[in-house]
Amino acid sequence: MDVTIPESRVAGRVRAPPSKSYTHRAVLAAGYGADTTVVDPLVSADTRATMRAVEAFGGAVDRRGDELDVSGFDGHPAVPDDVVDCANSGTTTRLVTACGALADGLCVFTGDGSLRSRPQGPLLDAIDQLGGRAESTRRNGQAPLVVGGPVDGGTVSIPGDVSSQYVTALLMAGAVTDGGIGIDLETELKSAPYVDITIEVLDDFGVDVARTDHGFRVPGGQSYRPAGGEYEVPGDFSSMSYLLAAGAVAAADGDGVVVEGARPSAQGDSAIVDVLASMGAAVEWDRDAGEITVPRASLSGTTVDVGDTPDLLPTIAALGAVADGDTTIENCEHVRYKETDRVEAMAEELSKLGASVTEARDRLTVHGGESDLEGAVVDGRGDHRIVMSLAVAGLVADGETTIRGGEHVDVSFPGFFEALESLGVDVEGHD
């Protein structure tokens, strides 16, 4: 689906969607338990993959309005009757791969072409260290994966600079093993706030995790039981970043964009508030009300390390194309291993709009002072975050910007284009 964004001014109130990261973890945590209601989840293409996996392991997920009633498998996942299709969700794949290592038999996990290109080798190796079976059918460390057990705990050594999701997967599974799982990190942990999210969710479900000198340890024999049998999902700061950026670059004179649902949490992507402030935006965050207000500002370039916040790179790159001076995004090599190579994608697609961009392996620099954005046809690369970031750039590009693959916003923010319309953008081409 091609979506066209005209140069626009925006204003009004809009609510951020629930967090995708928290929803994934909450749904699987509920699966590890008995009966849990997940309140205000994000129901998207990615999170539906996690719901299907819970059902494949013997649980049940019933949607009731803004709630999910999850009947879990109580720490004992069954061997799925069929191959588990994780679609485009790397988070689902990694989380359920560790879960599959608890099953008394073999589980098979696969997904679409993009997912089958993403690295899973360190997690497979970790399961092997625990005495389980974990193989890539193509022997390249990528899906399709064959995994089985049951493992009963132990200690693993894994790299921390490929994906924090390996840690998350092992912590979640380790809590219901007999002996628990210790994780020793061989390298510095990238995207550490995502592990903080995991620990926060586990704590809300009554599961203890300890930090060690070399990594983490989760004791075994625990049960997933949230207080009152309910868990409420907070708003998503990754998705919020596009709305906040839209306000900073395109808010109407004398007005601004107010984003609701901004409740403080462990989300590292809340760093977008500080990034905008460092670029000169007058951001106001009422934490008690969970509201952030952003008026349009004359932005200046900045330097941002995205080692802990990889999902913000596309948003920051789009902001950099509007700002005066250079915006340098550092420590970003791991961002190349997402749904697409997001470093390359933003460099190439922003260039089509007239931005001056310099790309290195671990750095992306957008030369805003040398950029004069003009509408063009750009490719969302089948990646929801690329699509939404290019839409932000399109708000200030002269003329119209047509984004190919607009339907991919369904992965994390199904109502994104409707949100833009509510702010006054005449979006063309979406359903």
Q: How confident is the model at residue 191 (pLDDT cuts 50, 70, 90)?
A: confident
Give the model confidence (pLDDT) of 305-347 as tens digits. Answer: 999 999 999 999 999 999 999 999 999 999 998 989 999 999 9
Q: Give me the pLDDT at residue 237, please.
A: 95
Which two tokens mark 8? Answer: 């626009």
Q: Give me the pLDDT at residue 112, please.
A: 96
Whether 297 shows a pLDDT value over 70: the answer reads yes
28 vs 8: CA distance, rounded Å: 40
Which two tokens mark 176? Answer: 């219901």
Give the model confidence (pLDDT) of 371-413 as tens digits. Answer: 899 999 999 999 999 999 999 999 999 999 999 999 999 999 9
- DSSP secondary structure, 32-53, as one string: HSSEEEEES---SHHHHHHHHH
Q: Give me the pLDDT at residue 353, please.
A: 98
136 vs 254: CA distance, rounded Å: 56
Contact yes or no for 104/59 (Cβ under 8 A): no
Domain with CATH 3.65.10.10 in the chain: 3-17+235-422, 20-232
Which whole number is the average pLDDT over 43-64? 97
Homologous superfamily (CATH) for 3-17+235-422:
Enolpyruvate transferase domain (3.65.10.10)
Whether 172 shows a pLDDT value over 90: the answer reads yes
Indicate the pTM of the whole model. 0.83
Contact yes or no for 368/323 (Cβ under 8 A): yes
Which two tokens mark 302? Answer: 């900045």
Active-site amino acid positions: 311
Whether 142 shows a pLDDT value over 70: the answer reads yes
321 vs 236: CA distance, rounded Å: 24
Nearest Cα residue to 197 out of 23, 69, 414: 23
Q: Give me the pLDDT at residue 430, please.
A: 74
Q: How confident is the model at residue 257 (pLDDT cuts 50, 70, 90)?
A: very high
Q: Give me the pLDDT at residue 103, please.
A: 98
Conformation bin of residue 382: beta by default, left when phi > 0, alpha when psi is -120 to 50: left
Helices (runs of H) and strands (runs of E) counted in the chain: 12, 23
Q: Give me the pLDDT at residue 6, please.
A: 98
Which whole number is the average pLDDT over 267-278? 96
Sorted by sequence, the CB contacts under 8 Å of residue 274 that are 6+ apart come out as none
Task: Report the length, in residues, of the chain.
Answer: 431
Q: State how far the alpha carbon of 34 is from the alpha carbons of 49, 69, 72, 79, 223, in Å.
A: 20, 11, 4, 18, 9
Which whole number is the average pLDDT over 132-158? 97
Q: Name the phi and psi angles at 66, rounded to 5.
A: -95, 25
Helix, strand, coil % over all residues of the chain, rounded to 5: 35, 25, 40
- DSSP secondary structure, 232-284, as one string: EPPB-HHHHHHHHHHHHHHBPTT-EEEEE-----S-GGGHHHHHHHHTT---E
Topology annotation, domain 20-232: UDP-n-acetylglucosamine1-carboxyvinyl-transferase; Chain (3.65.10)
By percentage, how much of the chain surpasses pLDDT 70?
A: 100
Decide which of 430 and 195 is more confident. 195
Continuous segment of H or E residues that includes residue 7: none
Q: Give me the pLDDT at residue 431, please.
A: 62
Q: Give me the pLDDT at residue 416, please.
A: 97
Which two tokens mark 228? Answer: 């009152």
Q: Give me the pLDDT at residue 190, please.
A: 86
Q: What is the mean pLDDT of the chain?
A: 96
By percentage, how much of the chain surpasses pLDDT 90?
A: 95
Which two tokens mark 60? Answer: 């049940």
